[in-house]
Amino acid sequence: MSEVDEIVGEFLVESYENLDQFDDDLLVLERDPGDLEVIGSIFRTIHTVKGTSGFFGFDHLESLAHVAENLLGRVRDGELAVNESITSALLATGDTIRRMLAVIERTGEEGDEDVSELVALLAALVEPAETPSVDDPVSMNEPDLSDGEPDPGAGEPTPVEDGPRIGELLVARGTADVEDVELAAREQEFGDERRLGEILVGQMEDEVEEALGQQQRESQRGLSDTKIRVDVGLLDELMNLVGELVLARNQIVQLVGDEQDSQFAGASQRLNLITTELQEGVMKTRMQPIGNVWNKLPRVVRDLSLNCGKQVDLHMVGQETELDKTIIEAIKDPLTHLVRNAVDHGIEDPETRAAAGKAEAGKLVLRAFHEGGQVNIEIADDGGGIDAAAIRAKAVDKGVITPEQAAKLGEREALHLIFAPGFSTAEQVTNVSGRGVGMDVVRTNIERIGGTVDVVTELGVGTTFKVKIPLTLAIVPALVIATAGNRYAIPQLSLIELVRLEGESAREGIELVHGAPVHRLRGRLLPIVDLAEELGSGSTIDRDVINIVVLHADGQHFGLIVDEIHDTQEIVVKPLGSHLKDASLFAGATIMGDGNVALILDVLGTAQRARVVAEGRERAVVEDESAEALADSERRTLLLVGLGDDRRAAIALSEVERLEEFSQDAVEWAGGREVVQYRDDILSLLRLATVLGIGGGFAEPDEPLNVVVHGSHGRSVGLVVGQILDIVEQEVTLSGEDARPGLLGSAVVQGRVTDVLDVDALVAANDPAGTSGSYAGAF
Amino acid sequence: MTTPTAKQFCTFQLAHLTFGIEVDRVQEVIRTLPMTVVPLANDVVRGLINLRGQIVTALDLRRRLSLEPRADDEQPMNIVVRTSTGELSLLVDAIGDVVDVDEATFEGPPETLDGVARELIVGAYKLEGKLLLVLDTDRAVQLPAMA
C-alpha cells in the first residue's frame, strides 16, 4: 500500500473478507436458492462495496457494484430465480471487484479495468424479470430484514363472527398489512383449513423467527467489535520470546530443585504456571481453523467441475480444526492442488460414472481432525482410483525409472511414484486414472513442515490422500532420554510406549534373528535398534536393565534401546548449524533446563539409518537382484525359517501372528492331532517339514519347539519349524499358473532361492480341524 | 582472503604456534562452556554450546589444522567468530593479547608449515621472538571432507 490512507485500507480489508463470504454465500445459494438469509448477506456485501466506492470516487467499481446490486435486489425480492448463469455472473463480479481492489491497494487509484462487458451481462440478466416470471409477487413471503421486531401479541386470534372481519381489523390496527391478509386468504382458498387468524399467526411466527435470527446476527456483529487485527509479524516475535521464556523457565525450575529456599521455590512455581499459560495463550493467538484455507475450495471445485463438465459434491468435515498460522499458510497450496487433482483426474465425468453404476455427481470429502498431537487432513474422492500399472508404465515412459526397476516395485511404491520429481506433468496417465500435476511439489511442501502425505486408492472406487501435519513447529513436547552419557530429545509425536526389561527378561528379552535384534512385544516381533550403536559408541545391549522406547516411523514400529529415560518436557526446536546439515540422525537441538544443549533425534532418519524402514523408492530401486523379475512381483517382509537338513522356507511376516516356543512336554494329542494349550485355548500344531513332504524337522526331545502362530478366519494354527532364522525384506516372484499348492512364490534370500509359503492354503489343505486323511497319515 | 589489511589481531595459542584472527571478525572470547557432543558429525565439530540461548557449533582448530590432540586436562577456550552462516565457536588452547602489527613485517606462509596448516594460513607477521600466523577464517570454518 503506497499512499492509501487508513480508511481506504480498512475498506479494502473489510471488502476482501466480505468477498470471501460472498463467494461462499453464492455457492450456498446455488444449492438452496430459497435461502433468504444468504441472499441478504450477498446483497449487503455488494451494497457496502457500492456505497463505499461511491464515497471514495471509484466510479468503475461503483457502477459495477450498482448493476450487481440491481440484479441481487431482484433476486432478493423473489422476482428472479437464481440459476447457474446468475451465479456465474455474480462470481465473476466478485473476482473483478477483487482485482480492482488489488489495483487500488497497489496504486491507491482505481485503474482502468474494463467492466463494461460484465456490466452489460449483469444488466441483461436483470431484464427478463421485467415480465413477471414468478407467480404473483404477493405470494412471496416478503423478507424485509430491516423490519423491526414485530409485536409478539400482534397475531392473537380474535374470535369475532360479526362486525368487521378479522383481516380488516388487523389491517386497521396496523398489526398486519393487506398483503399478509391477502396471502392468508389465498392459502385458505387453497385448502388451508385453519382460520384466517391462525394463518396470520403462523406468518407472524415466521417473522418473529426471522427477527430473532437478525438479533443473533447483530449480537455476533457486536462480538466482532471486541476483536482487533494484529500483525502476524508481531505474533511471530511474541512466539519467539515465549520460546526463550520457556527455556529460561526450564532452567529456573531446574535450579529450584537444588535450592532449599521455599520462597524462591514458590515464586518459581508461579513462574512455571504463568509461563505455561502464556505459552498456550500465544500459541492460541496463532491458531486458525482450517476452514480458513478450505473456504476457497468450494469455488475452486465449482469452477473446475464446470470446466471439466463434471458434477462434484464437496463435503467438508472438521472445518473448526485448528492449527498454527504458519502451517495454515504452508498447506494452502498443497491442499488446493490435491483438491484440483481430485476433481480434474479423480472424479470421472457423469457418463462414465453412470456407466459404472455410480451416482452422476462425484463426491469429494475433505476431513480434518486432530489425532495424536497431529492434524490429519484427508482428501477423499469416489472417482476412478489410480491404476498402479499405468503409473509404472508412465514412470518408465518418462524415464523416472527403468523397466527393470518398475517391475520390482510393489503396489504401494508404484503409487508413490506420483510424488517423484519428473513424473508430474499436466498430461493424464489414462482416461480413467491419472494424477500428478506437481505432486512432488505437494510432497516437498508438506514434508518441509514436518508432515507426511500418503495415498490410498482402489481402482474404480476412489482415492484418498492422507496428509498429516504437526500442530505447531516451534515448541514440541519431547521425551528426554540419555545414551552413552549424552541426553537426547525424542519428539513425542513418534513415541508409542516405553518398555523396561529387568533381570531375566532383560537378558533374554532381546533375541537375535540372524544377527538382527528383535524383541517379542506382546507376541509380536519388534525390530530393535540400539541407539548407542547407531551413535557409534558401541553396543550396550547386554545389561541387567534394558529400556526400550517404542517408536513409529513411516508406518513401521521399532524399539530404540537407550540407557536412561528421563522426563518429558516442552522443548524449543532450534535448527542445527550448516556444519551439521548432513547429520541425518538429528532434527535439531534444544536447550535443556540446566542450560546444556541436547540434540533432537530425527526418528525417521534413525530408522532409515538402522534400516528399520526402507529409504523410500531409492532403496527399492538400488536393490539389485537378478534381472529375471519381469513377472509380477512384490516386495515383502519375510520371516525366514529353517526346516531341518539345511532347508529353509519363508513366510510373509503379515501372515505371522506371533512366534512362540513350546516345550515338547506341553504337546498333547487331541482327535489324532498334536495340540498345545495356548492362551486359554487349544492351538493345533502343524509340522511344516512334514506338510511340505520334506521329512525331518523334528527337534531333539529336550529342545523346545519353535512355533510360528498363524491366524486366519478367527482361528490360530501353530506351524512347527526347525528354527527361526531371520527377517528380510525381499522381492517375491509370485508363482504363475504352474504354482504348486501352498506356495505363494519364491524369492532370492541371502543368495538362495527360497520358497515363500502360502500359509492359508497350506493350512486349508492340511486342515487340522478337518478330518484330512493325508494329515493323519503323516504321523 | 587476500593480504590482510586489518591492523589489529586477536592472538591465540594452538600447540606451539601463535595464531591471529582479525579483531573485527571476533565477536567475543569466552571460557570453556559445557559442550554437547554430536555423534557421527565431522571430526572437527567438537559439539554444540549454549551461547546465551543461541546454539552455536564449536569447531576444534587443533583438529582442523591436523595438530596433535589437546591433552585431556587442558580446557579449550572459545573464540566466537562471525561467519556468513552465523556465529561459530573456534576452540583454541589459550587466548593471547590483541596486538597491533606493522604491515612491513608481513610475509607469506613460512616454508616450515606443511599440509593442511599451509592451506589455512595466509601468512605471518614477524613479531619479536615469534611468528604470528594469520588464519584464513573463512577457509578454516569450511569443513574438510570426512575421512
User: Using one digit for the tens of pLDDT, what is the confidence trace for B84-112?
Assistant: 777 899 999 999 889 888 888 888 877 77
pLDDT at residue A136 in the model: 42
Give domain A289-470's CATH superfamily.
Answer: Histidine kinase-like ATPase, C-terminal domain (3.30.565.10)
Instruction: Select the CATH number that applies to the domain covering A6-134 from these four: 3.30.1370.160, 1.10.10.1100, 3.40.50.1000, 1.20.120.160.
Output: 1.20.120.160
Q: With a cut of 80, say whether residue A451 has pLDDT above it.
A: no
pLDDT at residue A380 in the model: 92
Confidence band of A474 (pLDDT split at 50, 70, 90):
low
Mean pLDDT of A457-467: 87
B40–A247 CB contact, under 8 Å: no
pLDDT at residue B131 in the model: 84
A 290-319 residues inside an 8 A Cβ radius of B: none
The amino acid present at A175, given as its one-letter code, is T
Q: With a cut of 90, say whether residue B79 has pLDDT above it.
A: yes
B39–A535 CB contact, under 8 Å: yes
Quick: pLDDT tens for A349-392. Answer: 888 888 888 888 889 999 998 876 678 899 999 888 888 888 88
Residue among B36, B53, B56 whose CB faces A247 most closely: B53
pLDDT at residue A703 in the model: 76
Q: With a cut of 90, say whether residue A489 has pLDDT above it.
A: yes
Least confident of A49-58, A99-108, A377-386, A761-770: A761-770
Nearest CA in chain A to B38: A599
Q: Minimal Cα–Cα distance from A729 to chain B, Å?
A: 27
pLDDT higher for A193 or A463?
A463
A294-314 b/e (C-beta count within 10 Å ≥ 16 → b): bbbbbbebbebbeeeebbbeb
The amino acid present at A215, given as its one-letter code, is Q
pLDDT at residue B31 in the model: 87
pLDDT higher for A189 or A363?
A363
Cell of B22: 582479525
Residue range A476-616 in CATH 2.40.50.100: no
Calpha distance A62→A258 (Å, rounded): 71
B8-140 folds as OB fold (Dihydrolipoamide Acetyltransferase, E2P) (2.40.50)
Determine how many CB atoms are found less than 10 A away from the CB of residue B60.
Answer: 21
pLDDT at residue B48 in the model: 92
Q: What are the start-end ranges of the H helices in A449-593? A: 503-509, 531-534
B2-28 b/e (C-beta count within 10 Å ≥ 16 → b): eebeeeebbbbebeebbbbbbeebbee
A589–B40 CB contact, under 8 Å: no
B50–A586 CB contact, under 8 Å: no
Least confident of A86-100, A466-480, A606-620: A606-620
Taking alpha carbons only, the member of B28, B24, B16, B23 closest to residue B99 is B23
B42–A579 CB contact, under 8 Å: yes
Nearest CA in chain B to A247: B53
A759 vs B: CB within 8 A = no
Confidence band of A424 (pLDDT split at 50, 70, 90):
low
Nearest CA in chain B to A251: B53
Helix (H) or strand (E) holding B57: strand B54-60
A597–B42 CB contact, under 8 Å: no
**Backbone torsion region of residue A617, taken as left when φ is above 0, otherwise alpha when ψ lies between -120 and 50, otherwise beta:** alpha
CB contacts of B34 in chain A (<8 Å) are: 595-597
Quick: pLDDT tens for B42-75. Answer: 888 889 998 877 789 999 998 888 888 888 788 8
Least confident of A72-81, A509-518, A576-585: A576-585
CB contacts of A487 in chain B (<8 Å) are: 36
Q: With a cut of 70, say whether residue A621 has pLDDT above it.
A: no
Residue range A232-286 in CATH 1.10.287.560: yes
Q: With a cut of 50, say whether residue A562 has pLDDT above it.
A: yes
Residue among A536, A577, A595 whose CB faces B86 most closely: A577
A 576-615 residues inside an 8 A Cβ radius of B: 576-580, 583, 585-586, 589-591, 595-599
Least confident of A107-111, A457-461, A697-701, A753-757: A697-701
Contact, A437 vs A336, CB < 8 A?
no
CA distances from A779 to A641, A697, A775, B26 (A): 22, 13, 8, 85
Q: With a cut of 70, say whether residue A151 has pLDDT above it.
A: no
Mean pLDDT of A275-285: 84
pLDDT at residue A189 in the model: 63
Q: What residue spans define the domains of chain A?
A: 6-134, 232-286, 289-470, 476-616, 631-777
Cell of A385: 482410483
Least confident of A83-92, A556-565, A577-586, B89-98: A577-586
Cell of A129: 424479470
pLDDT higher for B82 or A616?
B82
Helix (H) or strand (E) holding A391: helix A388-397
Q: What is the CATH number of domain A631-777?
A: 2.40.50.180
Mean pLDDT across chain A: 75
Confidence band of A488 (pLDDT split at 50, 70, 90):
very high
Calpha distance A357→A471 (Å, rounded): 40
Calpha distance A602→A608 (Å, rounded): 10
Backbone φ and ψ of A675, nearest 5°: -140, 160
Nearest CA in chain B to A248: B53
In this prediction, what percent of chain A has a pLDDT beyond 70?
74
Confidence band of A185 (pLDDT split at 50, 70, 90):
low
Q: What are the start-end ranges of the H helices in A145-195? A: 166-173, 178-189
> Do the domains spanning A289-470 and A631-777 agree at the CATH topology level?
no
Q: With a cut of 70, say whether residue A162 has pLDDT above it.
A: no
Quick: pLDDT tens for A91-142. Answer: 888 888 888 888 888 777 777 777 788 888 888 888 754 444 444 444 444 4
Calpha distance A397→A62 (Å, rounded): 54
A713 vs B: CB within 8 A = no
